[in-house]
Amino acid sequence: MSLRQMFAKLFNRSRQTDVANSDTVPPAPPEEEPVSESPPDAFRDYDAFCALVAPRVEAYCRNFQERLPKMSHRPLISVVLPVFNPDVKWLQAAIDSVRSQIYPDWQLCIADDASPNPEVRETLEHYREADKRIQVVYRKTNGHISEASNSALELATGEFVALLDHDDRLAPHALARVVDTIVQHPDVVLIYTDEDKIDEDDQRSQPHFKSDWNPDLLLGQNFISHLGVYRLSHVEALGGFRKGYEGAQDWDLALRITTGVPPSRIQHIPEALYHWRSISGSTATDIDEKSYAHEAARRVLADYFDSNGINATLEPVDRYYWRPKYRHSSPRAAIVIPTRDRVDLLKACVDSVTGKTGYPNYQIVVANNESVEASTLQYFSEIQSKGIVVVDTPGEFNFSRIANEAIRSREEEIIILLNNDTTIINGDWIEELVMHASREEIGPVGAKLLFPHDHVQHAGIVLGIGGIGSEAFKYIHKTDDGYIHRAFLIGNYSAVTGACMAFRKSVWLEAGEFDEVNTPNAYSDVDFCLRCHENGYRTLFTPFAQLYHAESASRGPENSTAFQRAMDYMNERWATVIERDPYYNPNLTLEREDFTFAREPRGYSTR
Among 254, 278, 313, residue at a domain's last position: 313
User: Which stretches within 423-574 are classed as H helix?
Assistant: 429-437, 505-511, 524-534, 561-573
Q: What is the pLDDT of residue 344?
A: 95
In this structure, the answer to whether residues 285 and 358 fall within a common structural domain is no
Whole-prediction pTM: 0.91
Is 536's pLDDT higher than 60?
yes
350 within a domain of the structure (yes/no): yes
pLDDT, residue 601, reads 86
539, 6 Cβ separation under 8 angstroms: no
285 and 399 share a domain? no
Q: What confidence score (pLDDT) does residue 594 get?
A: 93
Does a structural domain hold residue 57?
no
- Asked whether residue 16 carries a pLDDT value surpassing 50, the answer given is no
Does residue 319 sit within a domain? Answer: no
Query: Are both 345 and 482 inside the same structural domain?
Result: yes
Mean pLDDT calculated for residue range 539-566? 80
* pLDDT recorded at residue 133: 98
Q: How confident is the model at residue 3 (pLDDT cuts 50, 70, 90)?
A: very low
Please check whether residues 423 and 337 belong to one and the same domain: yes
pLDDT tens track for 216-265: 999 999 999 999 999 999 999 999 999 999 999 999 999 999 999 999 99
239 & 373 share domain: no
Q: What is the pLDDT of residue 560?
A: 77
Work out the pLDDT band at 273, boundaries 50, 70, 90.
Answer: very high
**Contact call for residues 533 and 443 (beta carbons, < 8 A):** yes
560: domain CATH number is 3.90.550.60
Q: Please tell me whether residues 303 and 356 are part of one structural domain.
A: no
> Looking at the structure, do residues 242 and 337 belong to the same domain, yes or no?
no
pLDDT at res. 10? 29
Same domain assignment for residues 293 and 431: no
How far, in Å, are 398, 521, 522, 552, 565 from residue 561 at the CA level?
14, 11, 11, 21, 6
pLDDT higher than threshold 60 for residue 9? no
Shared domain check, 262 and 373: no
Mean of per-residue pLDDT scores for the chain: 90
Q: What residue spans of 323-470 are helical by DSSP H?
A: 343-356, 374-384, 399-408, 429-437
The answer on 368 and 248 residing in a single domain is no
242 assigned to some structural domain: yes
* 371 within domain boundaries: yes
CATH number of the domain encompassing residue 117:
3.90.550.10
pLDDT of 283 higher than 60: no
Residues 281 and 381 in one domain: no
In this prediction, residue 80 has a pLDDT band, given cuts at 50, 70 and 90, of: very high
Total residue length of the chain: 607
**What is the percentage of the chain residues whose pLDDT exceeds 90?**
85
Asked whether residue 325 carries a pLDDT value surpassing 60, the answer given is: yes
Question: What total of structural domains would you count in the chain?
Answer: 2
pLDDT digits (tens, 9 = 90+) for 181-213: 999 999 999 999 999 999 999 999 999 999 999
Is residue 65 assigned to a domain? Answer: no
Residues 362 and 389 both lie in one domain: yes
Q: Answer whether residue 366 is part of any domain.
A: yes
**Domain enclosing residue 203, as ranges:** 73-313
What whole-number distance in Å separates Cα of residue 128 and Cα of residue 134? Answer: 5
Q: Give residue 61's pLDDT.
A: 97
429 located within any domain = yes
The answer to whether 522 and 566 have CB atoms below 8 angstroms apart is yes
Of 278, 313, 348, which marks where a domain is finished? 313
